[in-house]
A = this chain, B = another copy of it.
Amino acid sequence: MSKPTSKAKPAAVAGSRAEPLARPDARPEPRAGLRRQPRPQPRPPEPARPAAEDLSIAGVARQAGVSVATVSRVLNAHENVRPATRDKVLAAIDASGYRVNELARNLRTAESRLLLTMVPDFGNPFYAEIVRGIDSVARQHGYFMLLCDTGADAGRERSYFDLLRRRRADGAICLDPATIQQALGEASSALPWVACCEFDPSMGVPYVGIDNYRAAGDAVRHLLARGHRRITLINSDIDYLYARQRQQGYLDALTEAGITPLDGWRMNLNSLDYEAGTSAAAVLMQTTHAQNAAPTAIFAVSDTLATGVLHGLRSIGKRVPDDVAVVGFDDISIASQVDPPLTTIAQPMRELGETAARLLLQRLANPLANVPGVLLPHRLVIREST
């Protein structure tokens, strides 16, 4: 390998400045045996039957007794090929087990046919379902998905984003926090990408999401209707647009009901893990609520959190919904399985992903088209936790 010092700069150039993510080792040894000698070989006396493996379009052409152009035409289903010729070519392909080298094809056509998907955490079932939606639409259109877990880290995100500039991906879908996207957006709003779930409408980037403000309001109003007055909010990191919007929806719904939301009713977590919910619940309930009594309802901005809350409540002996009501968000599949089944705001996860992919594809097809922002409907699902 090369000396570490000598590669520091070039690595940065390649897009990973201050980021050991991409190609940390300058160029790991190329696979041997796949390389050919590049020198002035005046075409070696061709063997009667080529190696079958690692065959090129030229080999097929030779075997079929046609030109490479014709083989290419057959490969790409161009019309202007006489059936007889086509069959000859097809036969040669079948016989040789030839497969098109997409590396070459991609260079020639200047597209990778890869869609980059950046998620903050694909361990979270919420994202998993969205990713599925993306994948299905992408595949339907002949694209594959490059999935990257950014851990909601701006550095990693930036580094992955650079894959677009390096032409490794034709477009990107970003599910990372809006704050992170903004840093990116300024530098590269010209690049073909779309935002999913998290977005800044003013950024000029196509996006799809839901109306988080109204959704949170709906959740709170449901609790209000059930007679709750001391409603707490377990929120995620405020970096997320949805966190800010849901917080506002929560606050406004309370205020409109004539309730003055106390600061102590809100918590911000930097994780959506079950455990985070568990400990948050404990904290929330154990806090001596000064002159106020403990909350009678908890609104958590994610079902994973809410599931953790259920667990936490249980372990300190609180019954749901009798002692405390709980509302979640997302309606991931576990929501209906926990005890008690969770009342939650359902997001159309699959559609969110599908729409994001579609917007991106649209943008790729027509880079100049104006970019819609689309909001999909949410839905309050009432189960037994309230």
Contact = CB atoms under 8 A, between A and B. Distances in A.
Interface of A: 2-3, 6-7, 9-11, 13-15, 21-31, 33-35, 53, 74-79, 86, 90, 93-94, 98-104, 106-107, 109-114, 122-123, 125, 128-129, 131-132, 135, 139-142, 144-149, 162-163, 165-168, 170, 190, 273-275, 278, 307-308, 310-311, 314, 333-334, 336-339, 364-365, 367
A100 B166 contact: yes
B122 A132 contact: yes
Contact of A129 (B6, B94, B123): B123
Contact of A144 (B25, B101, B146): B146
A336 B307 CA distance: 11
Pairs of residues from A and B, 10 with the lowest C-beta to C-beta distance, nearest first: A7-B77, A23-B142, A99-B165, A26-B77, A147-B147, A34-B110, A103-B107, A311-B337, A274-B337, A107-B107
A153 B175 CA distance: 28
B274 A333 contact: yes
A103 B168 CA distance: 7
Nearest to A307: B337
B308 A26 contact: no
Contacts of A107: 101, 103-104, 106-107
B101 A167 contact: yes
A141 B102 contact: no
Nearest to A162: B99
A11 to B, nearest CB: 7
A332 to B, nearest CB: 9
- Interface centre among A13, A94, A98, by most chain B C-beta atoms within 10 angstroms, is A13
A354 to B, nearest CB: 14
A7 B344 CA distance: 47
Contacts of A33: 367
A257 B7 CA distance: 63
A74 B15 CA distance: 14
A207 B339 CA distance: 39
A9 B103 contact: no
A114 B337 CA distance: 37
A123 B112 contact: no
A79 B2 contact: yes
A144 B168 contact: yes
A150 B116 CA distance: 19
A107 B78 CA distance: 24
A21 B274 CA distance: 36
Given A99-B166, A308-B337, A334-B274, A75 B10 contact: yes
B31 A364 contact: yes
B30 A109 contact: yes
B168 A102 contact: yes
Given A310-B339, A314-B339, A338-B338, 17 more contacts: A2-B78, A7-B77, A10-B74, A10-B77, A14-B100, A22-B139, A26-B77, A27-B109, A99-B167, A101-B166, A101-B167, A103-B167, A135-B148, A144-B148, A310-B337, A311-B337, A339-B339
Contacts of A333: 123, 273-275
A35 B22 CA distance: 27
17 contacts: A2-B78, A6-B79, A13-B98, A13-B99, A25-B142, A53-B190, A100-B166, A103-B110, A103-B167, A114-B146, A122-B132, A123-B129, A125-B125, A132-B149, A274-B334, A308-B337, A314-B339
